[in-house]
Amino acid sequence: MISTTIENYIKAIFYLGETATNVTVSAVAERMQNSPASVSDMLRRLYEKGLIEDKNNITLTDQGSFLAKQIIRKHRLWETFLVKTLDFKWDEVHSIAEQLEHVQSSLLTERLARFLEYPETDPHGDPIPDKDGNFPDLSIIPLSESEPGKSYIFRSVATDAKDFLNHLDNKGLQLGQRWVIIEKEEFDGSVKLLVDDKNEVYLSEKVAKNLNICSGELD
């Protein structure tokens, strides 16, 4: 009934809806690597299936949104399985999970979740919705309250002053990155991080107070 292709469109629209204010045909086309013409055509079909609210306002219906969250749940559970159980590295698993997320069996999904002991986040630190589509609320703290040696995910910024964002850009810092705290200087509150297992970055307390993180342990 719902093809893999449709599932991928719904997922793309869900993700775009999380960041962009209004989702556009061209944004979906860009993300799906398809022509705008194909997207326009597909949106008609999604509307006919009751998955989006309107042809002009690309917003998921409750049904569409639930479907998206189910797919995201499966994707993130499988990524967790690949890393924790099959010893994949966390940056190797995406394309395999893109295939596994379309396997249809709610019993399988629930058994997998149970086997993994109901994880709240995947290996990238992204939250895993439960079977009803509810995301766990990960406790968000400023980087200044992090603990040395622990691993976190960079989640949000407390201010969007242009020069501040520029500063982050210069340091190569981006949302979703895994940050491991190498050390914290008691004296001035400065922090030294390892970003995505690659680069070391030093940050002042002033900056650290404005970066929000959540726990992202790999176990």
* Burial environment of residue 142 by CB neighbours within 10 A (0 to 12, 13 to 18, 19 or more): middle
Residue 161 near its own copies by CB under 8 A: no
Q: In whole angstroms, how far apart are CA 132 and each of 51, 68, 81, 112, 128?
A: 17, 12, 20, 16, 11
Residue 170 near DNA by CB under 7 A: no
Candidates 34, 59, 151, 212: give the one binding DNA (CB under 7 A): 34
Query: Which region, judged by CB under 7 A, interacts with DNA, from 32-40, 115-123, 187-195, 208-216?
Result: 32-40
What is the spatial distance between Cα 142 and Cα 207, in angstroms, rounded to a whole number?
10
Candidates 15, 16, 17, 25: give the one binding DNA (CB under 7 A): 25
Residue 45 near DNA by CB under 7 A: yes
Give the binding-site size for its own copies (rule: CB under 8 A): 19
Contacts of 36-44 with CB under 8 Å at 24 or more apart are 39/9, 42/5, 42/6, 42/9
Rg (CA), the chain: 19
Considering the complex, what minimum distance in angstroms separates the CB of residue 111 from its own copies? 4
Give the binding-site size for DNA (rule: CB under 7 A): 23
Contact call for residues 134 and 65 (beta carbons, < 8 A):
no
Considering the complex, what minimum distance in angstroms separates the CB of residue 41 from DNA? 4
Residue 108 near its own copies by CB under 8 A: yes
Q: Which residues bind DNA (CB under 7 A)?
A: 3, 5-6, 9, 24-27, 33-45, 55-56
